[in-house]
Amino acid sequence: MKIHEYQAKQLLGARGIPVPLGRVATTVDEAVAAVRPLIEESGTPVVVVKSQIHAGGRGMGRFVEHPDLGGVTVVTDGIEGGIEAAEERVRNLADKMLGSTLVTIQTGPEGKQVNRLYLEQGIDIDRELYLSIVLDRGQGRNTVMASTEGGTEVEEVAANTPEKIVRQAIDPAFGLLGFEASRVADALGLTGAAHRNGVAFLQTLADAAVELDADLVEINPLVVTRDGSVMALDGKLSFESNALYRHPDVEAMRDESEEDPAELLAFEHGLSFIKLDGSIGCMVNGAGLAMATMDIIKYVGGEPANFLDVGGGADQDQVAAAFKIITRDPNVKGIFVNIFGGIMRCDTIATGVVEAVKEVGLEVPLVVRLEGTNVDLGKRIIDESGLNVVSADDMKDGAQKIVALTS
């Protein structure tokens, strides 16, 4: 699960990570009202207006409605004109940004609507660095990744100048030790107060990553100010869904407007669903088989419309919900149900499909392949239902049949 930048900074700030002062706004008036306290509290006349969407590249991104306007704007009107001038400029900006569509390298061409702005104090930046904490799957440990190339996508740095990335694995029994954090700070070229602050920042962040069950913590850029402070100028957190039960405060930050409605509906029914661009809907048990079903549809010349894993223990209601989610997609021209029952019993799937078809109707071809536990019972339920269902002998046969029926 992803959250917004301002929410990430709230969570990190509450755990001792230095972040700029900031205020969130959902209306033009709220944005304007944030300017005075920000300038007065921070003592700097500069404020930054940042679009809040679940995608990176906002600074370089542009609004569809205002092609000359970026997703992040630094307001310097306060330096000469005082607070009132800054407020006037923010009013003008917020009016354009709120409700408009921001396109960045990560949003795709359709962009994302900006519904929230985050206003922050301006920071006097000396250096911009990169810092993240990610899981090293091979080692089964969190790893610090840092580089001097702040503001650049880490994938780009890894591809072009991999020697500039420093890695430090974290032993879960001990956390990030002082000398390890110091080694990272050395590699980033930090000295004096900035080195001391950097070590504290690294150790605090490593602890926060564990405490929050974050599967990614990315601070890009991490900035060093002219007075040697080390601060998170941006903050990206994503969370592992299996651990969300321990973090109701994080769960409450879910922004449903940022998520695909069909994926959200599936999530509420305990189904794993991802929408794709093709025309053949898939319902499968097991994540690996669900992926392989998409692959084989493509292999025989079709395009999958979705990934859908009904899981091992789905009941009839979940199967029916899955069927409805697939048929909601107007691109779907045919459906392939591919089940290899282990815990999942074929008769449960068959009954669920038959019930769902009776309820929502069936306007496209349906191919069903059943194998495994209670397969004979499942096939009988389908056969006796009187529905127009095509049976398949194995998964390639099923994929070929559904592709033939829809082309």
Partner 1 sequence: MSVLVGSDTKVIIQGMGKTGRFHTDKAIAYGTRMVGAVHPSRAGETERFEGDTDHSGVKGREDRYQQDLPIFRTVAEAVAETGANASVIYVPPHFAADAIMEAADAGVPLIIAITEGIPVSDMVRTKRFLQDRPVRLVGPNCPGVITPQRCKIGIMPGYIHTPGRIGVVSRSGTLTYEAVFQLTNNGLGQTTAIGIGGDPVNGTNFVDCLALFEGDPATEGVIMIGEIGGSAEEEAADFVKSSMTKPVAGFIAGTTAPPGKRMGHAGAIISGGRGTAADKIAALEGAGVVVAPTPSDMGAAMLQALGG
Q: Least distance from C-beta 321 to partner 1, angstroms?
A: 16
218 binds partner 1 (CB under 8 A): no
Tell me which of 87, 130, 149, 180 is the catalytic residue.
130
Q: How many residues bind partner 1 (CB under 8 A)?
A: 55
70 binds partner 1 (CB under 8 A): no
Distance CA 299, CA 293 (A): 10
Question: 33 or 165, CB closer to partner 1?
Answer: 165
371 binds partner 1 (CB under 8 A): yes
Which residues are paired to 128 by β-bridges? 223
Q: Least distance from C-beta 132 to partner 1, angstroms?
A: 11
Q: What are phi and psi of 120, to 5 degrees?
A: -130, 155
Distance CA 293, CA 289 (A): 6
Q: Least distance from C-beta 104 to partner 1, angstroms?
A: 14
Taking the C-alpha atoms of 111, 112, 117 and 120 in order, what is their torsion angle to the nearest 10 degrees? -50
246 binds partner 1 (CB under 8 A): yes
Q: Least distance from C-beta 81 to partner 1, angstroms?
A: 43
Tell me which of 5, 149, 218, 258 is the catalytic residue.
218
Q: Alpha carbon of 231 to those of 20, 140, 331, 359: distances in Å?
A: 7, 28, 47, 56
Question: 82 or 342, CB closer to partner 1?
Answer: 342
Question: 141 or 358, CB closer to partner 1?
Answer: 141
Contact 399, 297 (CB under 8 A): yes
10 binds partner 1 (CB under 8 A): no
Q: Which helix (H) or strand (E) holds 48?
A: strand 47-51
Q: Least distance from C-beta 301 to partner 1, angstroms?
A: 12
Q: Which of 37, 108, 172, 261 binds partner 1 (CB under 8 A)?
A: 172
Question: 125 or 289, CB closer to partner 1?
Answer: 289
Contact 289, 340 (CB under 8 A): yes
Confirm whether 130 is a catalytic residue. Answer: yes
Contact 86, 45 (CB under 8 A): yes
Q: Least distance from C-beta 248 to partner 1, angstroms?
A: 14
CA 56 from chain centre, in angstroms, equals 10
Distance CA 272, CA 249 (A): 23
Nearest to 228 by CA among 199, 204, 206, 208: 199
Helices 346-360 and 316-328 cross at an angle (nearest 10°) of: 50
Q: Which of 128, 207, 213, 255 binds partner 1 (CB under 8 A)?
A: 213
Instruction: Choose one: 45-53, 160-168, 285-293, 319-327; the region binding partner 1 (CB under 8 A).
Output: 285-293
Distance CA 110, CA 126 (A): 36
Nearest to 49 by CA among 24, 19, 18: 24
Question: 35 or 290, CB closer to partner 1?
Answer: 290
Q: How many CA atoms lie within 13 A of 246 on its CB side?
A: 10
210 binds partner 1 (CB under 8 A): yes
Confirm whether 258 is a catalytic residue. Answer: no
Question: How many CB atoms sit inside 10 A of residue 381's CB?
Answer: 20
Task: Say which amino acid occupies 236.
Answer: K
Instruction: Choose one: 62-70, 186-194, 322-330, 370-378; the region binding partner 1 (CB under 8 A).
Output: 370-378
**Sites for partner 1 among residues 286-315 (CB under 8 A):** 286-299, 304, 307, 309, 312-313
Catalytic residue list = 130, 218
The residues of the shown chain that bind partner 1, judged by CB under 8 A, are 135, 137-138, 140-142, 154-155, 158, 171-173, 210, 213, 215, 240, 242-243, 245-246, 272, 274, 276, 284-299, 304, 307, 309, 312-313, 340-343, 371-373, 394-397
